[in-house]
């Protein structure tokens, strides 16, 4: 999959290290390849990331968080979910996946010809179970 320049939307877990939050090793392994892709983020992903920041970051390290947020905004491109993505996300939620933000990431990828980079294999299994398109989602092992 590498060597093909395509657009990727980073799941919130891929934003956390830049904000000073420790994450799973597989995220760090993939991050070194991100320069090979056109990388996007959703503003809702930053909001979700800041729920983690509020709970986990020592307030003495808010300078690191601030620098990380600046780096995300300067390095990655913001992507606005189209109206259709919001409607699609509601349908996914109604099918039983109760993480609306994940549903919105997925639906945004579907409607913007991007791929959503995630480590959420549970969501991938949900897609399979409901016969939904899987090609808008990419797992780390599919990149390296």
Domains of the chain are 7-142 (3.40.50.1010)
**pLDDT (tens digit, 0 to 9) for every residue of the chain, 144 residues total?**
545 578 999 999 999 999 999 999 999 999 988 888 999 999 999 999 999 999 999 999 999 999 999 999 999 999 999 999 999 999 999 999 999 999 999 999 999 999 999 999 999 999 999 999 999 999 999 886
User: What pLDDT is attached to residue 32?
Assistant: 87
Question: Looking at residue 4, what is its pLDDT?
Answer: 58
Cα(92)–Cα(95) distance, rounded to whole angstroms?
5
Give this prediction's pTM. 0.92
User: Please, what's the b/e burial string for 3-29 (b: 16 or more CB within 10 A of its CB; e: otherwise)?
Assistant: eeeeebbbbbbbbbebbbbebeeebee
Q: How far is Cα 135 from Cα 95, in angstroms, rounded to an integer?
A: 19
């Amino acid at each position: 999959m590498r060597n093909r320049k395509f657009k990727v939307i980073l799941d919130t877990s891929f934003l956390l290290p830049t904000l000073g939050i420790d994450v799973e090793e597989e995220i760090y392994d993939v991050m070194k390849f991100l320069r090979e892709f056109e990388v996007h983020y959703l503003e809702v992903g930053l909001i979700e990331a800041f729920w983690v920041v509020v709970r986990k970051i020592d307030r003495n390290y808010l300078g690191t968080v601030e620098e990380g947020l600046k780096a995300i905004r300067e390095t990655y491109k913001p992507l606005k979910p189209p109206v259709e993505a919001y409607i699609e996300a509601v349908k996914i939620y109604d099918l039983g996946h109760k993480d609306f933000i994940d549903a919105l990431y997925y639906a945004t990828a579907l409607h913007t010809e991007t791929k959503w980079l995630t480590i959420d294999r549970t969501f991938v299994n949900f897609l399979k179970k409901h016969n939904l398109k899987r090609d808008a989602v990419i797992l780390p092992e599919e990149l390296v």
